Amino acid sequence: MAQLVTTQVLFLLVGVAAVWTARPRTELLNVCMDAKHHKEKPSPEDGLHKQCSPWKKNSCCFANTSREAHKDISYLYRFNWNHCGSMTPACKKHFIQDTCLYECSPNLGPWIQEVNQSWRKERILHVPLCKEDCEQWWQDCRTSYTCKSNWHKGWNWTSGYNQCPEGAACHPFHFYFPTSAALCSEIWSHSYKVSNYSRGSGRCIQMWFDPAQGNPNEEVARFYARAMSEATHCVLGPPLLSLALMLLWLLS
């Protein structure tokens, strides 16, 4: 019995800690982040381009953003995928899909965090990407080259697009990303983490999906939003926290 209560108190404390450190926004479902190209609110977009078209029914990106997402050194971020020779089309298609998910998905609310950056007010952190989507991305980039493991920082931008900084040598992807988990978590400063859940589980975000079956990420966002709001309800203020600590002390 004492053991059981101790466990519950521990859960309470963990919940409190999670809420205090993460501070998620209040609105978690059907939202767009406040970033460089996002709409204020999701809405239908009939004209979404190729790989971004799964988000047609409800999207945070405009059609022009979806077209740019398919280009090299586009006006979106002036990002050069071919910084170590040309990236193979098989590899590039994952980066396009990643851009579509980032720009268009209205289901990333549970992982939106405020940031103090010149080009955006919010980012995503630790989105649980389905393990197959991450694994396929890593496999398909085997034969492409890069010079860095964090693609958010440290480039030489003097020419108007990113080039490898001095001293960063080009190597096959696997040199900088020894595992699929390293690729998905490190490349965009932990925007993603690899989930151990599979596509179709309703517990991980799919970068790729067939819109004929609906958008599977809606259910995933609802699941994590509920889990997070339950954690919030555990915060009943410092008096209860003291009580919890006292109980923990008494029972240990």
Q: Which residues bind ligand NAG (CB under 6 A)?
A: 62, 64, 116, 156, 158-159, 163, 165-166, 196-197
Between the CA of residue 11 and those of 97, 124, 244, what are the distances in Å?
Answer: 37, 25, 11
Pull the structure tokens for residue 212: 């004929």
Q: How far is it, in rounded angstroms, from Cα 192 to Cα 135?
A: 13
> How much is the CA Rg of the chain, to the nearest whole Å?
21
- Cα three-residue angle 186-162-119, rounded to 5 degrees: 75
Rounded least distance, CB 49 to ligand NAG, Å: 12
Rounded least distance, CB 156 to ligand NAG, Å: 4
Rounded least distance, CB 244 to ligand NAG, Å: 26
Rounded least distance, CB 204 to ligand NAG, Å: 9
Closer of 46 and 166 to ligand NAG (Cβ):
166
Closer of 7 and 64 to ligand NAG (Cβ):
64
Closer of 152 and 174 to ligand NAG (Cβ):
152
Rounded least distance, CB 246 to ligand NAG, Å: 32
Rounded least distance, CB 5 to ligand NAG, Å: 24
Closer of 37 and 93 to ligand NAG (Cβ):
37
Q: How far is it, in rounded angstroms, from Cα 22 to Cα 112?
A: 10
Closer of 143 and 156 to ligand NAG (Cβ):
156
Closer of 103 and 186 to ligand NAG (Cβ):
103
Q: How far is it, in rounded angstroms, from Cα 218 to Cα 78?
A: 30
Report phi then psi at 202, rounded to 5. Answer: 75, 10
Give me the residues paired with residue 146 across strands.
171
Q: Which of 118, 172, 105, 168 is nearest to 142 (CA)?
A: 172
